[in-house]
Every structure is written in structure tokens, then in C-alpha cells.
Structure 1
Amino acid sequence: MPDPMPEFDLAVAEQVLDAQPFSRLLKTRITAFGDGAAVLELDIREELEQQNGFLHGGVLAYAADNSLTFAAGSALGPAVLTAGFSIQYMRPARGRTLLARAEVVHAGRRQAVVRCDLVCVDEDGTETLCAVAQGTVLNTAGS
């Protein structure tokens, strides 16, 4: 099946991410994009932690929301917005890097259902699943 949006590739996704002031503040990177999937990553830093030394749940929710939308955008096109999502925190998020790996579960013309695994990577490269999110993303083209 041909790529429906050959012009919406990783380089363009990087530009879209860079256009988001909050993403620049968190120093988020997009490392994979296309075929209904996206991976965002950010370094876990002290200023992103809560009082117990874990990555703040709001940072996890941001990463889930944004990666869900990028994954859906690779399937629906660049004009997308999150309609809603839920997140389940499973264990404290700590380590060196947070990865938000999102993949479209189902896409129609107007919306996509997307799942995201939020994984913390330790100094030695060990990955630990710390949260799971699922959301609905709407195609806003023509709205």
C-alpha cells in the first residue's frame, strides 16, 4: 500500500515537535515516525521530578498525549488533535530516559485509536514499563 502522505515524514514531524514551545522546554525528541507509529523520548532530569524523586506524572501524561497524536498523524495526516486519553501509572518512573512508544490500534477517515507504552531506560539500557495510555485522536482537516 503506498504511503498516503509521503511529505509528512520524520523530518517534518521533527519540525512540528520543535514548533511546540512546551516540547522545547522539556527537550523532547522524536526518534521514530511513520506507518501509524511514533516514538518520543526525553531525558529524565531533576527539574522534571516530583518530591519523591520520580518523573512527574504530568510529564508522563504529556509524553503519552503527544506521542499518541504523532502516531495518529502518521496515519490520518498532520491536522490532528487529541480528543481524549486515559493513562494508567504502573510503577514509579525513574532512570535516564523516558520513551513514549505509540502505535495506532485502529484508524478510520476521521479518527484513530492509539496505544502508548511509557518506558524508562536505566543507565545500563534496561527498560521498565511504567505507564500505559490509550486515546482517540481526531482528524481536523476540513473542520
Structure 2
Amino acid sequence: MNEIADLEQARVILAAQPFSALLGARLTAFGEGEAVLEVDIREELLQQYGFVHGGVLGYAADNALTFAAGTVAGAGLITAGFTIDYLRPARGEVLRARARVVRAGRTRVVARCDLSTVEGGGAPALCAVAQGTIAVRQAA
């Protein structure tokens, strides 16, 4: 299994994802069963009512869940599936996805993610929750 040593190595993996680079995503925490991914909220990421598009929240949940799993299972991972529940419109300056491993098995890792927005350095406002299953890819 390919190990992910630390936050810096995880950031290299994130930077290798063209879509993540397009969104300007960044990892701010990685380790001990947890990962935090952030995206600055800008006009191009909004839907017609001025809220962050649900697809952006889904992206953030998907990647945060997988990176959290990577803290315990290494780099050979792929999302098997996830669900997301939108709780309130997402608006603010920063979208933050904080994911935690619930259970790590040999072939699957289950994780949960809280998605919040932050405005002006204030308290995070929870806008969505997600749960996912991450598959550990077997070497061919």
C-alpha cells in the first residue's frame, strides 16, 4: 500500500487533480483519521440564487472523505459512493469540508464529512453533511 506521509504529500496529490486546481481547493489539515479541504467561494461557484452550487459541495465532500480515508489507508483509494444532505444554503467566503474516518477496514473505509461556510473569520455555519465509503484499490 502506498503511504501518504504527511500534509505536504497530500497537498501534492491534490494539486495533481486538474479539477481541484480549477476550483482552487486546498488541504488545511491531514492526519489521524481526519482531513480538511477548503475552497474560496467566488461568483463562478454559485447557482442562480447566489448560493454555492450543490455540485461544489459534493466535490468538497467527496475529496475530503477520500483524503480522510487516506490518513489510515494510504494513497490507493477511490470513492465507492457517498450521500450528501443539504441543510441550508451555502454562502460565505470559504467552504470548509471536515471529514473523519468512522471505520477503517481492509478493503473499505467509511467516513463522515461536515460542510460549513465561513464568513469574515466568524463561526462556521453548517450547510451540509455527507457520509461515504472509500474503496482500497488492490494492486493489479
Give TM-score, length-normalised by structure 1.
Answer: 0.94
Match of 2:117 in 1: 120
Letter matched to residue 57 of structure 2? L
Aligned residue pair count:
140
The 5-angstrom pairing of residues 1-143 of structure 1 reads: 8-143=5-140
Q: Which runs of 4+ in 1 moved over 6 A?
A: none
Unmatched tracts of structure 1, length 5 or more: none
Give TM-score, length-normalised by structure 2.
Answer: 0.96
> 1:142, CA displacement in angstroms?
2.1
Q: Residue 109 of structure 1: SS of its match in structure 2?
A: coil
Q: Is the 8 A contact 2:39 2:96 kept in 1?
A: yes
For the aligned residue pairs, the C-alpha RMSD in angstroms reads: 1.5
Q: Distance in 1 between matches of 2:23 and 2:138?
A: 28
> 1:5, CA displacement in angstroms?
7.7
Q: Residue 120 of structure 2: SS of its match in structure 1?
A: coil
Q: Is the 8 A contact 2:3 2:74 kept in 1?
A: no
Q: Is the 8 A contact 1:76 1:110 kept in 2?
A: no
Letter matched to residue 73 of structure 1? G
Q: Is the 8 A contact 2:4 2:71 kept in 1?
A: no
Q: Is the 8 A contact 1:8 1:78 kept in 2?
A: no
Q: Distance in 2 between matches of 1:6 and 1:35?
A: 13
Identical counterparts, % of pairs: 59
Unmatched tracts of structure 2, length 5 or more: none
> 1:6, CA displacement in angstroms?
6.8
Q: Against the structure 1 CA distance between its residues 43 and 129, is the aligned structure 2 distance closer, same or farther, given a 3 Å change threshold?
A: same
Q: Against the structure 1 CA distance between its residues 44 and 128, is the aligned structure 2 distance closer, same or farther, given a 3 Å change threshold?
A: same
